[in-house]
Amino acid sequence: MRILIAYSTGFGTTKEIAEKLADVLEESSELTIKIASLDQVGSLQTFDGVIVGSSVRADRPTANVRDFFSIHHHELIDKKVAIFAVCLSANCREGREKVKNDYIKQILDKYPDIHPLSVEAFGGKIDFERLNPVMQSLMKKVLQKTGLPDTGSIDTRDWEFIVQWGEMLKAKLLDQTVANQG
Ligand SMILES: Cc1cc2nc3c(=O)[nH]c(=O)nc-3n(C[C@H](O)[C@H](O)[C@H](O)COP(=O)(O)O)c2cc1C
């Protein structure tokens, strides 16, 4: 089974999560994984499944993720689909639920014929030194809501949780029964 992991990323955080998920899925000899930036994805014809990873900007999946669904939604109907978002507010269970039920839902509500195997949100990372002043002030507003510090480098990715999701997804892609992840 051929699976594409297509990601959008500003600073590499979502790409690194996509790579970790690829490592987990590749443990199965039945899955062949290709990772690509969303902007480099053409036809989905050769893939049985597509996992879309989106970085979040200003309470929304990035524009290229929204464009990807707009372009490919017909093709995605017949494929195994999973979606994950990466952002700082997904650093706790409550934040993850908001990201899933609000940010990702903004996309899925538009395409009711797409039924993802799973949707998840993961904590993100930010390096203040890499942001220009406009982005820094945007981020400070985001961080005021999360209670995280608003200077330096913050990495809220929970790699164990990410690997667990990859394992659950692997089982679903292979149509195996899985225990609830909670
Ligand atoms: C301009 C900008 C806006 C952001 N807006 C949000 C936001 O609205 N909510 C949030 O939780 N995180 C927000 N973030 C944090 C990013 O989603 C987080 O840093 C993520 O890890 C970035 O992933 P990437 O490196 O793959 O782009 C924002 C980051 C930037 C730079």
- pLDDT tens digits along 125-182: 999 888 999 988 888 888 887 888 888 889 999 999 999 999 999 999 998 755 544 4
For residue 88, how far is its CA from the centre of ligand 1 (angstroms)?
6
**19 in a structural domain:** yes
Range of the domain at 114: 2-127+154-173
3-state secondary structure of 3: strand
Domain count, the chain: 1
Q: What is the pLDDT of residue 135?
A: 87
**140 in a structural domain:** no
- What crossing angle do the helices spanning 13-25 and 159-173 adopt, rounded to 10°? 50
Q: What is the dihedral of CA 144, 83, 70, 55, to 10 degrees?
A: 30
Q: Give the residue from 127, 135, 55 showing the smallest Cα distance to 87.
A: 55
**149 in a structural domain:** no
**139 in a structural domain:** no
The minimum-distance atom of ligand 1 relative to the CA of 90 is: 11
- The CB density around residue 110, as the number of other CB atoms within 10 Å, is 12
Q: What is the pLDDT of residue 177?
A: 58
**158 in a structural domain:** yes
**142 in a structural domain:** no
Q: What are 98-133's pLDDT values in tens digits?
A: 999 999 999 999 999 999 999 999 999 999 888 999
Q: Is the dihedral of CA 176, 177, 181, 182 positive or negative?
A: positive
Q: What is the pLDDT of residue 178?
A: 53
**179 in a structural domain:** no
* pTM for this prediction: 0.94
**180 in a structural domain:** no
Q: What is the pLDDT of residue 90?
A: 94
Q: What is the pLDDT of residue 180?
A: 47
H or E element, residue 81: strand 80-87
Q: Is the dihedral of CA 105, 77, 25, 39 positive or negative?
A: negative
The minimum-distance atom of ligand 1 relative to the CA of 124 is: 21
Q: What are 19-70's pLDDT values in tens digits?
A: 999 999 999 999 999 999 999 999 999 999 999 999 999 889 999 999 999 9
Q: Give the residue from 83, 61, 72, 80 showing the smallest Cα distance to 9.
A: 61
The protein residue whose alpha carbon is closest to atom 29 in ligand 1 is 57
Whether residue 97 has pLDDT greater than 50: yes
CATH number of the structural domain spanning residue 8: 3.40.50.360
Q: What is the pLDDT of residue 182?
A: 42
